[in-house]
Structure 1
């Protein structure tokens, strides 16, 4: 028996850091939504109690460092599952890109194994388990659009934003999320997002309001430390994107584009600068579908 699950990428429309907690983590407030760039996670039932993992991308770890492996191990141990699984990740989301690829793979694994192993868990229960793997995993369990608080696990589900194009560009570098947060001085943040205005933009499906209120406080760290990210952002703005922002801790930059006529021009301009460029759509609705 095999189950296949779609694992879409996410972008941050806003990302605010409110404080640093005693445990070293940060309290955040961010608006996230899914886009139509996705991995596919194929889960095949094994009669033996083992977890095997393969991936189409050669540089993804295939052991306990992999979020999908962690998800399977957590479910297996918590619910005393006496079967196993072979996990194959068909990778399309860039790795270490600020797009929650690993978290989305973990969430897809949780949803798929819930069916494959007949666990009968709710999405809320899967999201609670996912929070033990990573702060973006609960959001990815549900998909769609949400306001996230706490460490990212306290979610308020939102309606989908107005449909538009999203152009993603990732330079050939990796960025450590821990390093970016470690170099952020919360008391020195120059500009915080207007989260309420972004929520209004989503509720009213106002594209201009959404594009004009993109804001990510982590840019203050990443753009300074990685000039390539700033160059991509400037090129995207010059090429005519309606709103441009770095997603997560980077290094991926995305541009929101309302008119399709602009998409090819911006895409081609970026392709002359970096290899990893994608033109996709905002999904925004829940993407918890089991493909087969």
Structure 2
């Protein structure tokens, strides 16, 4: 069984759409997470610019090289303290939902934002009100997704209100819709307190919402100055062997999208993932 590896498109340096798809294809990658504004800088991707024709044009460029747009990345602050800014962000996400299928994509992804306008770690995110603000926004996005047969993929992490697997499960329980699914990035849940028991975090996530995981994000981490620091795949402490054993058993062929992994590390990271996946047991 082969591992199904893709990459976050804006981790590839490219000056044009053609150059981007060729670079991804030449690496043997099968899928991407595409953030329009980050990867298509020479095109107008502002709110209101999308159309079925635009989406089909972009989608065809990837399809012609046998690459699937697995996720449209539209990472917004869905609980922005300024209501006007929050509404703009929500409208942008809904526009991605409306045209996702024209891109050949069924998932639009985001994290859950921040109580502050500027993103970053704050324990204020962990209070009840931010959680219920997230619930309100996710319900609104999922209601739109249900109309278009699209999935809202929510990614949790310690910098956001959905900061643990338990809180992710709580969100899934509050928003009762199969159009809400999970983008699982295990590094996002790593802290100085739990990284030595990271396998417990994996098991907790799979026990609580393994059936709802639709994408795995792959990056890595080290501990530096008593903090978790992100590094390219295979260059850190994440126990991919344990993670892949779970994936093989419970989520075969799930798309594994590398992120925070740029040149000159991409080829090494691909070989690391392929080798480890092949050696992991099921």
Asked which structure has the greater RCO (Cα within 8 Å, sep 6+), the reply is 1
Do the two structures share a fold, i.e. TM-score over 0.5?
no
**Structure 2 length-normalised TM:** 0.29
If each structure's strand is expressed as a fraction of its own residues, which one has the higher value?
1
If each structure's helix is expressed as a fraction of its own residues, which one has the higher value?
2
